[in-house]
Amino acid sequence: MEFVRLEVADGVATIRLDRPKMNAISFQVQRELREAAAEASERDDVRAVVLWGGERVFAAGNDVKEMADLGYAEMVQASASVSSATTAIARIPKPVVAAVNGYALGGGCELALAADVRFAAEDATLGQPEMLLGIIPGAGGTQRLSRLVGPSKAKDLIFTGRFVKADEALAIGLVDKVVPAAEVYDAALAWARQFAEGPAFALRAAKETIDRGLEADLETGLEIERQQFAALFATEDRALGMSSFVESGPGKARFVGR
């Protein structure tokens, strides 16, 4: 891959965007994000993922120059690529944290929204400015943003296209933690590392149950939870965790990921 790298160390994968100057998300970057997400999903030595654009910028949006001359017929075909890259990140069956330095705008903000949690630099700027181009977010922004911060706040951000600084992003729930710019990646990495030796199937079940449950009514969500809960009794980690609790108390189990 040319613009997206996947690096693994100590059970944590870093999916790193690196397309100078502003990590604009082109169709090629979208394809490479899908490839990186698939690899992170499949590798047994990956227990959690950090999504990072580097110290300067997370991603300043989709590549507008690439889309500017496309008509309706072409975008009908291309729109699947636009949304499927963020969907691929969202469907990684492991904890994913976005480490946001600099700008996360448009498609970059949508990419951050696809993570499970978001850590932002004190000087980070987020937003969905697509309205200023005469379009709407097309990579999940209208859906994930409204589910995260509520419909009225999402409508304010999307209707106006205004930028949001880190302190406001934290206040409305768009990001989960704000730290000094130099510490963003390390803070995200520390969060991810706590799962490196965790119960892999239980983490996967928790993520899937929450995500699928949010897409359904309460009764259906509870049934999804019941099935996933029961299924975990077939795992070795469940036996290890419960026997460790009985013998030594909570928090001392050594899981094996099976």
- Known catalytic residues are 110, 130
C-alpha distance from residue 19 to each of 23, 57, 121, 165, 172 (Å): 4, 10, 20, 23, 30
d(CA 131, CA 160): 7
- Tell me the backbone φ, ψ of residue 137, rounded to 5 degrees: -55, 140
User: In the chain, at which residue ranges do the beta strands (DSSP E only) sit?
Assistant: 4-9, 12-17, 48-52, 96-100, 103-105, 117-121, 125-127, 163-165, 177-179
Q: Which amino acid does the sequence have at 119?
A: F
d(CA 141, CA 128): 7
Spatial contact of 113 and 176, defined as CB atoms under 8 Å apart: no
Closest listed residue to residue 125, CA positions, set 157, 156, 88: 157
3-class SS at 210? helix
C-alpha distance across the termini of the chain, in Å:
31
d(CA 89, CA 160): 27
CB neighbourhood size of 16 (10 A): 19
